[in-house]
């Protein structure tokens, strides 16, 4: 199938899935007879989205900026940490346990501290997003470098390659597919950190808007903000996936339509 046809088929499947989810939503509202302040209909949510777009769009831009900044920060720190762990063998005994400990503490427990230390501005939300992103990027990149083909390493050592050359010319290129998987995970979870930070303490952003809409029982506005957040997350994920596919052409997708 041609690329244009594949994109058309994907768009059609997305449209059918969306219509199906809206139908299920309507059915749940009808079957439960839930009041609109508990579960509004898709029509009420759409009306709220159109009517309050200026407010929702302004908060969405704040959250998007926090997500992108957190993604960039988390990826940069994760790459640097993975390279440090790989290039400095004595440091592995110290850094690897720290990586595990950093994920053992729930993010909801860290968020109030970040707000206390960094304030109610964007810095605490960026830091929260970076913390969530940091681990999957670091572990994916480090694991990819650690699993470099042994035959390549033996050949490089036989030819007198230095450890630095082995790292940059063999291990890093070999780890790029694993890193791409980590980046896809990072793009999917990046919005979580920003929204959690906004729930704990903020003066703007979609998380802040959702929290206040919930307190005022404006559930239709809360759903509208949630839909915008989900759309942003999906767009970010597919943008990262498309960019990685273009940057790693030697790693084609082996799953085809005829796979059982």
Give start and end residues of each alpha helix (H) in 52-121: 53-87, 89-104, 107-118
Q: What would the mean pLDDT of 227-249 be, rounded to a whole number? A: 89
Of 30-34, 85-89, 100-104, 109-113, where does mean pLDDT reach its minimum? 100-104
Average pLDDT of every residue of the chain: 83
Mean pLDDT calculated for residue range 96-125? 78
Interval 35-61 mean pLDDT: 89
* Residue 202 near residue 125 (C-beta atoms within 8 A): yes
Band (7; pLDDT cuts 50, 70, 90): low
Contact 209, 56 (CB under 8 A): yes
- What is the separation of C-alpha 124 from the centre of its chain, rounded to a whole number of angstroms? 17
For residue 260, is pLDDT > 60?
Answer: no
| Cα–Cα distance, 247 to 252 (Å, whole number) | 11
Residue 108 vs residue 5, higher pLDDT = 108
* Angle formed at CA 184 by CA 233 and CA 125, multiple of 5 degrees: 50
The pLDDT value recorded for residue 257 is 47
Instruction: Summarize the confidence of residues 26-52 as an average pLDDT.
Output: 86
Q: What is the pLDDT of residue 252?
A: 62
Chain mean position to CA 127: 14
Distance CA 237, CA 242 (A): 9
What's the pLDDT band for 26 if we cut at 50, 70, 90? confident
Q: Over 60: is that where the pLDDT of 254 sits? A: no
pLDDT of residue 149: 84
* pLDDT tens, position by position, 150-206: 888 888 888 887 888 888 888 888 899 999 999 999 998 888 888 888 888 777 889
Q: Check residue 152 and report its DSSP letter.
A: H
- CA 231, 236, 239, 240 dihedral sign is negative
Nearest to 85 by CA among 75, 73, 74, 99: 99
Structure tokens at 255: 């799953």
Average pLDDT, integer, range 42-66: 92
d(CA 104, CA 98): 10
Could you tell me which of 126, 140, 168 has the C-alpha nearest to residue 244? 140
């Amino acid at each position: 199938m041609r690329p244009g046809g594949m994109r058309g088929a994907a768009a059609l499947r997305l449209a059918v899935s969306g219509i199906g989810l809206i139908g299920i939503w309507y059915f749940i509202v009808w079957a439960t007879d839930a009041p609109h302040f508990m579960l509004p209909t898709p029509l009420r949510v759409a009306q709220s989205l159109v009517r309050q777009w200026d407010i929702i769009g302004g908060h969405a831009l704040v959250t998007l900026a926090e997500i992108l900044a957190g993604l960039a920060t988390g990826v940069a720190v994760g790459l640097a940490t993975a390279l440090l762990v790989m290039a400095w063998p004595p440091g592995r005994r110290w850094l690897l346990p720290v990586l595990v400990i950093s994920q053992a503490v729930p993010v909801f427990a860290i968020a109030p501290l970040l707000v206390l230390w960094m304030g109610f501005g964007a810095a605490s939300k960026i830091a929260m997003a970076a913390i969530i992103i940091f681990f999957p990027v670091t572990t994916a990149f480090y694991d990819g470098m650690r699993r470099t083909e042994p035959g390549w390493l033996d050949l490089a050592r036989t030819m007198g390659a230095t450890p630095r050359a082995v790292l940059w010319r063999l291990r890093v290129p070999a780890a790029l597919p694993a890193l791409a998987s980590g980046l896809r995970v990072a793009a999917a979870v990046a919005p979580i950190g920003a929204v959690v930070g906004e729930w704990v303490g903020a003066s703007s952003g979609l998380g802040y808007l959702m929290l206040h809409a919930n307190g005022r029982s404006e559930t239709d506005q809360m759903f509208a903000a949630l839909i915008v957040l989900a759309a942003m997350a999906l767009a970010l994920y597919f943008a990262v996936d498309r960019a990685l596919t273009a940057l790693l052409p030697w790693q084609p997708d082996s799953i085809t339509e005829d796979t059982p």
